[in-house]
Amino acid sequence: MAIAIEATRPHHSLWGDAIIRLKRNRFAVAGAIIIFLITMLAFLVSVFSPYRFDQQDLNAILQGPSKAHPFGTDDLGRDVLTRLLYGARTSLAVGIFAQFIVLIIGIPIGAFSASASSRVDNFIMRFVDVIYAFPDILFIILIRSILGGSIYMMFLAIGLVAWVNVARLIRGQVLFQKQRDFVIAARAMGASERYITIKHLIPNSLGPVIVAVTFNIPRAIFAEAALSYIGIGIKPPTPSWGTMIRDGYDVIFAAPYLVLFPAVAIGMLMLSFTFLGDGLRDALDPRLRR
Amino acid sequence: MESLLAVDNLSTHFYTQDGLVKAVNGVSYRVAKGETIALVGESGCGKTVSALSILRLVHEPPGKIVAGSVTFEDVDLLKVSNSEMRRVRGAKIAMVFQEPMTSLNPVLTIGRQVSETLELHQHMGRQAALREAIKLLGMVGIPQAEHRVKDYPHHFSGGMRQRVMIAMAIACHPRLLIADEPTTALDATIQAQLLELIKTLTRELGTSVILITHNLGIVARYAQRVYVMYAGRIIEHGPAQMIYDKPRHPYTVGLLASVPRLDESRKTRLMSIKGQPPDLIYPPPGCAFKPRCSYGTQCQDESLDLVEVAPGHYCSCQLAPQRKQ
Amino acid sequence: MLWLIPVLFVVAFITFSLMHLVPGGPWDQEKQLAPQVVENLNRKYNLDKPFIVQFGNFLWNAVRGDLGVSYSYQDKGVTQILLSGLPKTAGLGVTAFLIAIIIGIPLGIAAALKQNSTVDYISVFFSTLFANIPGFVIGILFIILFSVTLHVLPTGGWGSIKQVIMPAVALAALPAAYIARVTRASMLEVKHQDYIRTAQAKGLASRVIIIRHMLRNALIPVMTIAGPELAALVTGSFIIESLFSIPGIGRLFVQGVFARDYGLIMGTILFYAFAVALVNLIVDILYAVVDPRIRYE
């Protein structure tokens, strides 16, 4: 006789289950740890660093890593490690705050498009397709060159181009959720369309949006670094990894570390967010729930 | 009888995440020259796996042929080299699969798919092979074969695609054709046509056939002998007529009883065998059918040897000889 | 494919509008010019005409191949400037694309055929790593390694193989990783299809099955991403061009942005949009050639 074993599993909510699965993904965990460490260090640099990021010491120009300056000094005698961590602030700020713009623009447009008539929806989606088809970094450069140099404008420039992903995603999700049973039930109970959209559809669509945003962050970080490298990014003296590369490139043969550290930092931070995003995507995929 | 193919004690197991699946568990059958046998059973009983094992087409992980022998023309196929095996496949033993919609390569013309067998096994040149392919397509009933030979699979219906598969299979005049549920995925009318086609062609060519099916309705007309499989084992076999007239194993009885018949009144309930097929990961010792057997559980015997209940008719149910029919 | 025409139109319109939203004209940058001079310049370049007229003129000229004038290089038209940079950018982009394919596809195929072997793990590791690190960073690492430390390769310029290799490989890394991943996934899926089992049952040798039956099917999804990847290569190369001092369109664009040279900026963006559209068109055609199922649609 075949023995049937009835296994009982503890019941998890979608989020609880997701966290458990996420913890199992070693790359995602590593990424999250690195992000956390960099963020903490960036926050606390003003506390434990003996230098200010713009503090020049013309007696200590272009020194390699030493006890006094663990990552060396640049051509104006500024401590590289300190500048690197302040640069982390810039990168993280741009990466994360640009996403607010993305969400503020993307979610309403996506939700609206999904709830609107099909002609309006089509029109909006064509428009989105156009922006999507075009290389985003060029647009960002264009917008940036118009809007000017402050960091807030940087958020705006990146956000104005990156919202399309989220809008599309939300629209797809809303359209999908709209025909699910609990929505029909809510409607039958007399709820208005707007109520349904806000209280039911959007929260249920959050999963993919979180993943999309997590993937957007490294792209924003890269955009900022690239723009700063070209020269239309963050204005000095605010440190930015891109600017550090630009400045350090002139003396690359004498002091390659000036370029190496920021480049590696960019790569590591981007990679960490991507691993985290991969992990989140797998963790939040309802089809993989066991 | 002199057999063309003799499968002896074949066992094929699958090593899966959930456990060891004994898909084929000591199966034996024989096919004589020119004979058509039917291999019958529910889905999942192991009949397809046994056929794939003959051609050694079982995916090596997770599957593995762990025991037994497959003797074809006096050679044990399980022991020959890979290149030897490739010479047998398609040329001496050919197979037609169940799903015509996915069994043909979508990016190659059907002409190419038929002719490549000819080029490979009969060393024909491209043009000659194509001409022969056109002839074969005509033989299986594809109209305007000389034009259709340049078409792709998606231009054909399911029934047509299966005809193409048959053409591919008989192209090199194999001694044995294995037809794995060739008509299950098709309409009833097409089913009849295709089975007739297989019967005609194989009779013409003198090809032996292993017809794998779960549909007892078609077996009687096309097979001389029948093997009934359950949970990875053969539980009854014999001449088709005898199996139909006097089935001895309770499972076979149940199978036959559940075939709807035209001569019964409409109001007669459709019979089905109660219960589910067993989990092949934890096969029960002894008779696997016991939990579903409607003859009660008087049998304590765990032996599974096939007992001859009539000349040429064997059954593994130990109580069969004593039962009155 | 035809929807690309409105795309170009909208892109041109957006860019044009953005340019005209900027307070002050293109003349603010360098020196303070006398109002009379500014007025004359504006008239010369038709900047005093209404927006619609300017836009119309621009489009009309663009269609005939004249992308306007550059405000910084006053003796050359934008088209001419772009054409001078085109060979370098195209050369870089195509070279990088070829490298990406030559590395990515075989790697993906090998990984799929020998699942869970060493090759597979290397391939997955490689794909994950390089798919997420920008070519910019890789380029910098290359420069530090090969130019600064080992002194075997020059840091920039264009012309010799030694100058091409670093930027091309740096640019190719991301697409190669992505292509490898897609190829692997696609091959794995094809490997388990029924028609492969049919091919085996016919007695065909593995090599024949892989080449004749698997590859064409597996490469179809790869082609759908190849197009956008190539387009991205062509347009995204500007940062590599800046890094390696390659006088291509990308670098010209960057300089144009810096100099507020709106003529050049407009022309370049339109040119990029056109290049993207063209590449996608070519890929669509190739796709129909490879997959007979979509031919008669």
The pLDDT tens digits for B78-99 are 999 999 999 999 899 999 998 8
Residue B297 confidence (pLDDT): 63
Rounded to 5 degrees, what angle do the CA atoms B161, B163, B168 make?
95
Residue for token pair 């999942």: B44
pLDDT tens digits, B156-180:
998 999 999 999 999 999 999 999 9
Residues A106, A131 contacting (CB under 8 angstroms): no
Beta strands B225-230 and B233-239 are antiparallel
ipTM tops 0.90: no
Residue C117 confidence (pLDDT): 80
Using an 8 Å CB-CB cutoff, list chain B residues near A1. Answer: 284, 291
Exposed, middle or buried: residue A114 (CB in 10 Å: 0-12, 13-18, 19+)?
Answer: buried
| Nearest-by-Cβ selection for A130 from C10, C140, C243 | C10
Residue A1 confidence (pLDDT): 41
Does the beta carbon of C20 lie under 8 angstroms from any beta carbon of chain B?
no
Residue for token pair 């309802």: A286
Strand partners, C42: none
Q: Give the gap in angstroms from C-alpha C293 to the nearest C-alpha of chain B.
A: 7
Q: Which residue of A has its CA nearest to B287?
A: A1
Exposed, middle or buried: residue C41 (CB in 10 Å: 0-12, 13-18, 19+)?
Answer: middle
Of A215-219, B19-23, B310-314, where does mean pLDDT reach its minimum? Answer: B310-314
Helix (H, G, I), strand (E, B) or coil at B21: strand
Q: What is the mean pLDDT of residues B178-195?
A: 87
Residue C196 confidence (pLDDT): 94
Beta strands B63-72 and B225-230 are unpaired
The verdict on whether omega for the bond into residue B62 sits within 30 degrees of 0, i.e. cis, is yes
Residue A5 confidence (pLDDT): 47
Exposed, middle or buried: residue A30 (CB in 10 Å: 0-12, 13-18, 19+)?
Answer: middle
Residue C28 confidence (pLDDT): 56
Enter the DSSP assignment of B299.
-
Does the beta carbon of B247 lie under 8 angstroms from any beta carbon of chain A?
no
- Neighbours, chain B (3 or more CB pairs < 8 A): A, C
Q: How far apart are CA A79 and CA C112, in angstroms?
A: 48
Residues A274, A31 contacting (CB under 8 angstroms): yes
State the DSSP string of A105-122: HHHHHHHHHHHS-HHHHH
Residue B304 confidence (pLDDT): 67
Q: What is the mean pLDDT of residues C2-11?
A: 69
If contacts are CB pairs under 8 Å, which of residues 131-190 in chain C contact chain B?
Answer: none
Q: Which residue of C has its CA nearest to A233?
A: C258
Distances (CA, A) of C295 to A62, B156, B281, C186: 63, 16, 47, 21
Strand partners, B158: none
pLDDT tens digits, C195-221:
999 999 999 998 999 999 999 899 888
Residues of A within an 8 Å Cβ radius of C:
27, 126-127, 129-130, 133-135, 137-138, 141-143, 145-146, 218, 222, 225-226, 229-232, 245, 252-253, 256, 259-260, 263-264, 266-267, 270-271, 274-275
Q: Which residue of B has its CA nearest to C212?
A: B108
Residues of B within an 8 Å Cβ radius of C:
55, 57, 85-91, 94-95, 97, 99, 102-108, 116-117, 120-121, 152, 154, 165, 168
- pLDDT at position B242 over 90: no
For B103-127, b/e burial (b = at least 16 CB within 10 A) is bbbbbbbbbbbbbbbbbbbeebeee
Residue A241 confidence (pLDDT): 93
Residue C24 confidence (pLDDT): 52
pLDDT tens digits, C113-148:
887 788 888 888 888 888 889 889 999 999 988 888
Residues C205, C166 contacting (CB under 8 angstroms): no
Share of chain B above pLDDT 70, in %: 89
- pLDDT at position B275 over 70: yes
Ramachandran region, residue C25 (left: φ > 0; alpha: ψ -120 to 50; beta: rest): beta
State the DSSP string of A146-163: HH-SSHHHHHHHHHHHHH
| Nearest-by-Cβ selection for B102 from C195, C202, C292 | C195
Q: Give the gap in angstroms from C-alpha A4 to the nearest C-alpha of chain B.
A: 9
pLDDT tens digits, C38-83:
677 666 666 666 777 777 777 777 666 676 666 666 667 777 888 8
Contact A259 C140 (CB under 8 A): yes
Percent helix, strand and coil across chain A, each to the nearest 5: 75, 0, 25
Helix (H, G, I), strand (E, B) or coil at B235: strand
Contact A3 B282 (CB under 8 A): yes
Of A91-95, C101-105, C173-177, C278-282, where does mean pLDDT reach its minimum? Answer: C278-282
Average pLDDT of chain A?
81
Q: Which two tokens stand for residue B35?
A: 């004979």
Residue A290 confidence (pLDDT): 44
Residue for token pair 């199992």: A24
- pLDDT at position B112 over 80: yes
Q: How far apart are CA A81 and CA A48, in angstroms?
A: 12
Residue A128 confidence (pLDDT): 81
Residues A179, A211 contacting (CB under 8 angstroms): no
- Neighbours, chain C (3 or more CB pairs < 8 A): A, B
Residues A109, A115 contacting (CB under 8 angstroms): no
Beta strands B63-72 and B3-16 are antiparallel
- HSE (CB half, 13 Å, CA atoms) of C25? 18
Average pLDDT of chain C?
80
Average pLDDT of chain B?
85
Mutation choice for A interface testing from B18, B282, B290 by most A CBs within 10 A: B282
- pLDDT at position B77 over 60: yes
Q: How far apart are CA C135 and CA C138, in angstroms?
A: 5
Residue B129 confidence (pLDDT): 93
Computed on alpha carbons and rounded to an integer, the radius of gyration of chain A in Å comes to: 23
Q: How confident is the model at residue B252 (pLDDT cuts 50, 70, 90)?
A: confident
Residue C97 confidence (pLDDT): 92
Rounded to 5 degrees, what angle do the CA atoms C221, C225, C228 make?
155
Highest mean pLDDT among A41-55, A196-210, B80-94: B80-94
Exposed, middle or buried: residue C43 (CB in 10 Å: 0-12, 13-18, 19+)?
Answer: exposed
pLDDT tens digits, C152-183:
888 887 878 888 888 999 999 989 998 998 99
Strand partners, B213: B40
Residue B303 confidence (pLDDT): 61
| Nearest-by-Cβ selection for B91 from C199, C200, C203 | C203
Share of chain A above pLDDT 90, in %: 20
Using an 8 Å CB-CB cutoff, list chain B residues near C203. Answer: 85-91, 117, 120-121
Using an 8 Å CB-CB cutoff, list chain A residues near B282. Answer: 2-3
pLDDT tens digits, A120-160:
888 888 788 777 767 777 778 777 777 776 778 888 888 88
Residues B68, B10 contacting (CB under 8 angstroms): yes
Of A6-20, A227-241, B279-293, C101-115, where does mean pLDDT reach its minimum? Answer: A6-20
Dihedral angle, C-alpha C5, C11, C14, C16, nearest 10 °: -90
State the DSSP string of B148-199: HTT--GGGS-HHHHHHHHHHHHHTT--SEEEEESTTTTS-HHHHHHHHHHHH
pLDDT tens digits, A161-188:
888 888 888 888 877 777 777 777 777 7
CB atoms within 10 A of CB B237: 27
Residue B70 confidence (pLDDT): 92
Distances (CA, A) of B126 to B116, B129, B241, C213: 8, 5, 46, 17
Q: Which residue of C has its CA nearest to B118?
A: C202
Residue B324 confidence (pLDDT): 54
Contact C202 B117 (CB under 8 A): yes
Residue A6 confidence (pLDDT): 44
- pLDDT at position B278 over 80: no
Q: How far apart are CA A126 and CA B248, in angstroms?
A: 69
Q: Which two tokens stand for residue A133?
A: 């088809």
Rounded to 5 degrees, what angle do the CA atoms A66, A48, A77 make?
40
Does the beta carbon of B19 lie under 8 angstroms from any beta carbon of chain A?
no
| Nearest-by-Cβ selection for C201 from B57, B87, B106 | B57
Q: How far apart are CA B319 and CA B233, in angstroms?
A: 17
